[in-house]
Amino acid sequence: MIVTLTPNPSLDRTVTVDGLVRGRVHRTTSLRDDPGGKGVNVSRALAANGDPTCAVVPVGAEAAAAFSTMLDAAAVDHVFVELAGAVRTNITIAEPDGTTTKINEPGRASTPADAESMLDAVEARLEGATWAVGCGSLPPGLDGQLYAELIERAHRRGVRAAIDTSGAPLSTAIAARPDLVKPNHHELAEHAGRDLPRLEDVLAAAHEVLDAGVGTVLVSLGERGAIAVDRAGASHAVAHVATPRSTVAAGDCLLAGWLHAVESGATRDAALATAVRWGSAAVALPGSQVPGPADVDRIVVDVSPSPAPSLTMTTD
């Protein structure tokens, strides 16, 4: 069982337009609503591929029925922490060439008591769990200590902890020594405090995170795929998506794929291949839709146990 915590959940509304032009009136060609937030997406991807998971989500009574219906439809077991107004609305504008423009609300103003309620709800589900996964931005009023406490509570119960966040919360979480962190290229550079223009720079920054006590660093690199770095070495994997449709939730699906593979005892190379396969499959789907087995099986991944240090990075 993999338990996810999404402190700042959302209703993800994706509208598709023929082409976005600033200042113009547009007609949508499609509309899709999904339950969102990074941890929710991780649980949705796991459930779509048959993995047991539970999503812990703060949801007020005003949104509980609709959010629960969507999670039930996705076969995601869930626990709601009742906090009024906790579900924000995030809007993604998708164009035919795969370009996505996101407009995210900041979320509900929260208190330390709210954080305690979320952590208690996670801890209540850790019996028999193998991973506790904290994902996403934090709502106003909370800081990275929420994730540090999640790591501590998981480790006290013998459960591994993974964190996917950014900015100061990522740095706070790294100091708490989780088993896995999953930054993207930009987030790792922000933590390192410098640009990371080549793969060798990314690898150096990842090793600094390892030196801080983290078990594995999984870095998503956009078109450049992803790398996985642990104390035994590093691997790089990349896949080509012929028709990209949306990058929303791709990083979450990458993390879910890694957890799925590790749960099956996969090696670092094999786990990274699975992670990139899941993340790339998500890019080929609309909105924040997550891939199932048929989507994943269509993706071909190249894995290298010897990353090319001079490879230049692209914008996430």
Q: Which residues are catalytic?
A: 252
d(CA 191, CA 209): 9
Residue whose C-alpha is closest to residue 82's, from 68, 96, 92: 68
Identity at 47, one-letter amino acid code: A
Provide the 3-class DSSP secondary structure of residue 196: coil
d(CA 163, CA 180): 6
| 217 in Cβ contact with 210 (< 8 Å) | yes
User: How big is the CA angle at 173 (ends 255 and 157), to the nearest 5 degrees?
Assistant: 80
Task: Kindly compute the dihedral angle of the four CA atoms of residues 53, 58, 60, 61, in this order, to the nearest 10 degrees.
Answer: 30
For residue 222, the 8-state DSSP code is G
Q: How far is CA 22 from the centre of its chain?
A: 29
Phi, psi of 47 (to 5 degrees): -65, -40
CA-to-CA dists, residue 252 to 170, 180, 256, angstroms: 16, 14, 6
The 3-state DSSP composition of the chain as helix, strand, coil percent (nearest 5) reads: 35, 25, 40
Q: How far is CA 12 from the centre of its chain?
A: 14
| Helix count and strand count (H, E) for the chain | 10, 14
